[in-house]
Structure 1
Amino acid sequence: MLLIVAAFSLTANAQSYRLSILTSAEDSIKVGIYKKRFNTPSDRQQVLNGVIENLFSQSYLSAGYDSIAVQDTFMTAALHVGEQYKWAAIRPGNIRQETLQEAGLRETYWFNKPVSNKGLLQMYNMLLDYYENNGYPFAEISLDSVEFSGNTVTGYLNATLNKLIVFDTIQIKGSARLKQSYIQQYLGIKAGAPYSEAAYRKADQKLRNLPFATPVKSTDILFITDKARPVLYINERKSDQVNGIIGLAPGGGTGPNASKLLLTGEFKIKLNNLFRSGKVFELNWRSFKARSQELKTNLQLPYLFHTQIGTDFRFDLLKYDTLYTTVGRQFGLQYQFNGLSSVKVYYNVNSTSLITVDTLSLRFNKALPSTNSTISKNYGISGTLNTLDYIFNPRKGYQVTLDVSAGNRRVRRDPRINDIEFTDGSGHAFNLYDSSELKTAQYRLKYNAEKFFPVGKTSAFRIASAGEHLESKQIYFNEVLRFGGFSTLRGFNEQSIFATSYSLLIVEYRYLFAQNSFIQVFWNGAYYEDRNIQRASIIHDTPWGFGVGANLDTGAGILSIAYALGKEKSNNFDLRTGKIHFGLSSYF
């Protein structure tokens, strides 16, 4: 008896409620597939209502049920779908036509397009985005005076702007010390300017990329009457740097010196945030070859006179072996976009003086040397676009820099060469400069690009490319480009490869185990050409190398170490030619 009662109970609970929607074959396609069996009447009613909501979303605004019949557990619903409604016009009510255009709402966006809540919501959001970035974060949008004509709809967009909100001065909570003029320009949040939600939302990422401040909490915004006060939670970060890099590599000599190691190195000092206003001074000294040294200095003065414009001064000095000395000077005007992206125009002067002159060779060859005293004057423009999430140890984003310049190069008369005279068949005296073209046009292109792809939560894949091209009718040895070493092509001696044009490709996998630390495996390769006048024909090659490395945050600074093997021309890999690089960036 108990078994019979239990079976009856299970049958009652498993009772099925069914649904059938009647419509034309054409309209059934618009309805789509729907569920037909249910455990409860409420589940069935939800599907019944959902069919109408789905049709509304497809702009069939007159869709509805003509009749609904229920017999026991079976429901039959007769559905009419009707016509699809489209926008005839969306006219500005109290909104200016210019505002619609600035928000991206043009007639082609809605004309003859199906009417839907989704499309209307997109229009609302586009307008709200515009207003909240132009001083009205509490604006409200509505569609009023809706008119139907056949299957077309006309409506009027209206806005209730509420109160105009402007930015207040920025409040800093923490140990960071920054001038208001600097931080306002850097963040694009200027006191008295209309409130911008976009500027506020970008503030945290920009603060993360400041070398001299560390955010400890997300930025807050306080609305007080008609002002919005940003509150930054940032502490001072030790950012002034003293860096040293030491390289050990085979000396490349012959005879007894063949096995000797060549000690190369680099010393760098960088002072950030001078006078609490983001000013930067940088000095970089490098010894990359026996009897060769290079000094580079740079002074950056951003946001002059409370504008986005800054200045850039550079002074470079290169002594190459016992051959020549080159002095470079550059003055630039830079426009800084909000954050780390910028564009710069500049004027550059490079002058080379010969240290030694082989007059005997000149008398024998009766031609100017491959290294000459020259002066080049160029005008250029460069730009940087940076979207890296964290410049000190990025996982995603990209950075692109492009630099182009044009000008002229003039050969200067060196007295030691100018005094060497020859006599032609007619008995007329001449020197080597008289028969040479001393002035010629010169063009230069330089680029650097890198992209980071996040892998999981703690790794990143980096692809980078860099290159430079020098174009001129004649290119002397003192003008050629130099690359190779820790910062360009690992596995090779510092600046050991000479070229008039080169392009690099770098592929890295990084495992990021701390905020400023990672280990890496890498491959780097290059293609280059050298057609300076010293060459009888164009020299080209595809050197490449691979290795492992690490950046370690020691608390007092960043320790960089890398080991790489390189291969060029027809040489095979040799462990004895491996390059070891050490670097230490100390902060104070």
Structure 2
Amino acid sequence: MRYLIIFFLLFYCVSTAAQEKYYLNINAADKDSGFLTKGFSYEKEFADTTTRTAELKKLLTKLYEKGYLETAYYFAGGDSSTVSYSLFTGIQWQWAKLYNGNIDAVILDRIGFREKLYSGKPFSISQVIALLNEILGYCENNGYPFASVYLDSFKIDHNNLSARIFLLKNKLITIDSIKVQGNVNISYRYLANYLGFRLPSVYQEDLVKKIAVRLKELPFLTEEKPAQILFQDRYAYLLLYLKKKNASNFDFVLGVLPNSNTTGKLLITGDGRMNLINPFGKGESLGLRFNQLQSRTTEMRLQASYPYIFNLPFGIDASFDLYKNDTLYLEVKEQVGIQYLFTGVNYLKIYFRNTGNSILSVDTLSILQTKQLPSYLAFNTNFYGVEYQFERLDYRINPQRGVAMIFSGEAGNRKIKKDNRILQLTDPFQPEFNFSSLYDSVDLKETQFRLTGNIDKFWLLSGRSSFKSSYHGGAILSNNIFENELYHIGGFRFLRGFDEQSIFASQYHVATLEYHYLLSLNSFAYLFFDAGYIENSALISYTSDTPVGFGAGLNFETKAGVFGISYALGRQKDNPIEFRSAKIHFGYVNHF
């Protein structure tokens, strides 16, 4: 029983100590009782004495900011939990006038200074400091990094304060060159344009402060140590310490797929890509892609871009695409665009693209029997479009944080070319039938719109775990859509678990969820789930579907490059999942 009583006593003491509060009482000795309540209220109850002391200092700062520059306090008494202070605020100081001493009117106009803003208003220390910093900031960004600004000619009339503001600019500094130390091959003109300096350029502090951030966003170099600015009389130059970073890559994917058209045999597909980033040291890029994704189907793409033409923040890019579908049709795309360049690889682009589609073979027997045009026709379309790309990733090769997106929208005028092989047909059973009338069922000239968008978002979950969510979408808006102008989706790149580019769509929306487990800097294991909505509104018939794909993969780095393997299953048109139809892909990426 004695021990039980001791336990309860100890418990009561601990509970009481844990609930102890501290109080603050402040009395404005030279003001009425409502002075603090109306404009300077403060907290009165605290969990510890440190927070209580901080609240007192906070109140004093607030009074100083409102012009009570003579504020002082005195300890008035207290006990272990409560302290009391007497506060003497004195008079509230006000601006009588704040005049311009010698500062150019254009500077004061740019920062929004007006003398009337300081006439008869409470004196505020933070307001004065902010004004001085704005003037200095303007000077530092317009060639005067050593400028100084100060108040002088003070006059005091009772509680009214007058002063003049003066500026000493010192020397005008011009940045005339950029020098690089390190093994990176890069043009100083490219660096100057990218960093925002049009050499020779007056000194700009804002641009100097952003050097490290902007260099970090370039994929082909890294900053070894902070940049230096070296001054020589009225001139200065930037000294950058840069190191080459592997950004160019060769990427090859080999697919081993069940061939639905050949029982018991496998279909081997290949997709090869080469991207050269900054090969000549001027920030340019070159790209080549060649693949054979289905039997007798070939695709090729050439792309090139060159930044900062005429030392302006504009770049030019061009691309050539060729797609040959078996013996059915051949599609050729030629595109040229002008980019407005932001930081890193981000840009806004306007472009023109000519798309030509020619028919290689015509099923004349089917046309004779059905008296209908085939699902693919020859045409030519001139598109005008806009494209925006934004990328901010922590590590471009194998990101764990960040976002990458690209959107495009285009409008074009499509002109159908009548095929002589169809026009010259004659039905022996209906010799009077004119096959040129088949083209009356379609608009020979029509405006078409296309929208596409891709978003990849990376989320870091822990030290080694990350999560990726993606969206890929596209839509063709047109009254008549032909089979040979549809999107080709499915396969290793997105919507996995299906044959490469085997799904033809006039509209598609694909969402992806991936879990990544990091093994090393460029190695990771992953699980993925793809879900899509597909529409095909080509001429023959309308179809829609909600395909689903899922699987797992592994990318592992070696001295020779990064090798990858993935296993994917897919379900389409409510068909059951078949493990014998699994898609296996082997990949290889080499960064150089």
Q: In structure 2, give the amino acid aligned to 1:377.
A: N
The reply to whether residue 194 of structure 1 matches residue 198 of structure 2 is no
Q: In structure 2, give the amino acid aligned to 1:402.
A: F
Q: In structure 1, give the amino acid aligned to 2:549.
A: G
SS in 1 for 2:425: coil
Cα distance 1:137–1:323, how it changes in 2: closer, same or farther (>3 A)?
same
Counterpart of 1:455 in structure 2 is: 461
The reply to whether residue 499 of structure 1 matches residue 539 of structure 2 is no
Q: Quick one: which of 174, 178, 181 aligns to 1:166?
A: 174
Instruction: Check whether the contact 2:64–2:71 (CA below 8 A) recurs between aligned residues.
Output: no
Q: In structure 1, give the amino acid aligned to 2:42.
A: G
Counterpart of 2:423 in structure 1 is: 418
Q: Quick one: which of 207, 214, 224 aligns to 2:215?
A: 207
Distance 1:379 1:425 in 2: 44
1:212-240 Cα shifts (integer Å, max 9, x gaps): 33433333333343334322222334444
Q: Percent identity?
A: 33
Q: Which runs of 5+ in 2 are unaligned?
A: 1-22
Q: In structure 2, give the amino acid aligned to 1:32.
A: Y
Distance 1:552 1:114 in 2: 66
Cα distance 1:425–1:227, how it changes in 2: closer, same or farther (>3 A)?
same
Distance 1:112 1:586 in 2: 70
The reply to whether residue 32 of structure 1 matches residue 42 of structure 2 is yes
Counterpart of 1:227 in structure 2 is: 235
1:375-408 Cα shifts (integer Å, max 9, x gaps): 1111112122333343223333333322111121
Counterpart of 2:575 in structure 1 is: 571
Q: Quick one: which of 377, 383, 395 aligns to 2:400?
A: 395
Q: Which runs of 5+ in 1 are unaligned?
A: 1-17
What is the CA-CA distance between 1:361 and the residue it aligns to? Answer: 1.0
What is the CA-CA distance between 1:428 and the residue it aligns to? Answer: 8.0
Q: Quick one: which of 248, 272, 276 aligns to 2:281?
A: 276
Q: Quick one: which of 251, 255, 262 aligns to 1:247?
A: 255
Counterpart of 2:565 in structure 1 is: 561
CA RMSD of aligned residues (A): 4.2
Instruction: Check whether the contact 1:176–1:236 (CA below 8 A) recurs between aligned residues.
Output: yes
Counterpart of 1:8 in structure 2 is: none
Instruction: Check whether the contact 1:31–1:55 (CA below 8 A) recurs between aligned residues.
Output: no
Counterpart of 1:308 in structure 2 is: 313
What is the CA-CA distance between 1:533 and the residue it aligns to? Answer: 0.6
Matches within 5 A, 1:17-56: 21-23=26-28, 24-29=32-37, 30=40, 32-33=42-43, 50=57, 53-56=60-63
1:149-168 Cα shifts (integer Å, max 9, x gaps): 99998876554433333324
Counterpart of 1:349 in structure 2 is: 354
The reply to whether residue 59 of structure 1 matches residue 66 of structure 2 is yes
Q: Report which stretch shifted further, 558-567 or 48-57.
A: 48-57
Instruction: Check whether the contact 1:60–1:81 (CA below 8 A) recurs between aligned residues.
Output: no
SS in 2 for 1:274: coil
Q: In structure 1, give the amino acid aligned to 2:539.
A: I
Q: Report which stretch shifted further, 66-75 or 425-434.
A: 66-75
Distance 2:486 2:337 in 1: 23
1:407-461 Cα shifts (integer Å, max 9, x gaps): 2111112221121257999968552455243111111112222333343455443
Instruction: Check whether the contact 2:426–2:435 (CA below 8 A) recurs between aligned residues.
Output: yes
Instruction: Check whether the contact 1:58–1:84 (CA below 8 A) recurs between aligned residues.
Output: no
SS in 2 for 1:387: strand
What is the CA-CA distance between 1:290 and the residue it aligns to? Answer: 1.4
Q: Quick one: which of 432, 441, 444 aligns to 2:450?
A: 444
Cα distance 1:123–1:352, how it changes in 2: closer, same or farther (>3 A)?
same
Distance 1:526 1:347 in 2: 30
Counterpart of 1:5 in structure 2 is: none
Distance 1:297 1:111 in 2: 66
Distance 2:115 2:359 in 1: 68
What is the CA-CA distance between 1:48 and the residue it aligns to? Answer: 11
Matches within 5 A, 1:510-525: 510-525=516-531
SS in 2 for 1:169: strand
Q: Normalising by structure 2, what TM-score?
A: 0.82
Cα distance 1:215–1:541, how it changes in 2: closer, same or farther (>3 A)?
same
Q: Normalising by structure 1, what TM-score?
A: 0.82
What is the CA-CA distance between 1:211 and the residue it aligns to? Answer: 3.9
Instruction: Check whether the contact 1:67–1:78 (CA below 8 A) recurs between aligned residues.
Output: yes
Q: Quick one: which of 244, 247, 253 aligns to 1:236?
A: 244
Q: Quick one: which of 299, 302, 323 aligns to 2:304?
A: 299
SS in 2 for 1:522: strand
SS in 2 for 1:278: coil
Q: Quick one: which of 257, 266, 270 aligns to 1:265?
A: 270
The reply to whether residue 176 of structure 1 matches residue 184 of structure 2 is yes
Distance 1:137 1:21 in 2: 46
Distance 1:572 1:147 in 2: 90
1:321-367 Cα shifts (integer Å, max 9, x gaps): 22111111111122222432212221111111112111111112212
Distance 1:561 1:147 in 2: 80
Q: Report which stretch shifted further, 22-31 or 227-236.
A: 22-31
Matches within 5 A, 1:137-176: 137-142=145-150, 158-176=166-184
Q: Quick one: which of 211, 217, 223 aligns to 2:225?
A: 217
The reply to whether residue 334 of structure 1 matches residue 339 of structure 2 is yes
Cα distance 1:139–1:541, how it changes in 2: closer, same or farther (>3 A)?
farther
What is the aligned length?
563
Cα distance 1:533–1:156, how it changes in 2: closer, same or farther (>3 A)?
farther
